Chains A and B, each alone.
Chain A
Amino acid sequence: MYAEKGNHIITAATEHKAILDTCKRLEKHGIRVTYLPVQTNGLVDLEMLKEAITDKTILISIMYANNEIGVIQPMAEIGKIAKAKGVLVHSDATQAVGKVPVNVIKDNIDLMSMSGHKIYGPKGVGALYVRRKSPRVQITAQMDGGGHERGMRSGTLNVPGIVGLGEACAICNADMPTESKRMAYLRDKLRGKLESELDEVYVNGTMEHRLPNNLNISFAYVEGESLLMGINDIAVSSGSACTSATLEPSYVLKALGAGDDLAHSSIRFGLGRFNTEEEVDYVAAKVIDVVKKLRELSPLYEMAKEGIDLSKVQWAAH
Chain B
Amino acid sequence: MAYSNKVLDHYNNPRNVGSMDRNDPNVGTGMVGAPECGDVMKLQVKVNPETGVIEDAKFKTFGCGSAIASSSLATEWLRGKTVDEALEIKNTDIVNELSLPPVKIHCSVLAEDAIKAAITDYKNKAVTQTVAVASTK
Contact = CB atoms under 8 A, between A and B. Distances in A.
Contact of B63 (A226, A259, A260): A226
B103 A247 contact: yes
For this complex, into which size category does the number of interface residues on chain A fall? 20 to 34
Nearest to A260: B36
B113 A318 contact: yes
B94 to A, nearest CB: 15
A226 B42 contact: no
B62 A318 contact: no
A138 interface: no
Interface string B52-87: 000000001111110110000000000000000000
A297 B38 contact: no
B14 A229 contact: no
Contacts of A21: none
Given A299-B31, A318-B34, A226 B60 contact: no
A260 B35 CA distance: 7
A316 B31 CA distance: 8
A306 to B, nearest CB: 10
Contact of A316 (B17, B33, B103): B33
Nearest to B117: A316
A212 interface: no
Contact of B35 (A230, A297, A300): A300
Contact of B11 (A226, A298, A317, A318): A226
A295 to B, nearest CB: 9
B19 to A, nearest CB: 7
Interface string A214-236: 00000001110110011000000
Contacts of A249: 38
A139 interface: no
Nearest to A238: B64
A222 B32 CA distance: 16
Contacts of B103: 247
Contact of B62 (A223, A229, A247, A260): A223
Contacts of A229: 3, 11, 64-65
A311 to B, nearest CB: 9
Given A297-B60, A299-B40, A299-B41, A315 B35 contact: yes
A301 B42 CA distance: 12
Contacts of A318: 32-34, 37, 39, 106, 109-110, 113
Interface string A279-318: 0000000000000000011111110000000100001111
Going nearest first, the 4 A-B pairs with the smallest beta carbon separation are A260-B36, A315-B34, A261-B35, A299-B42
Interface of B: 1, 3, 11, 14, 17, 19, 31-42, 60-65, 67-68, 103, 106, 109-110, 113, 117
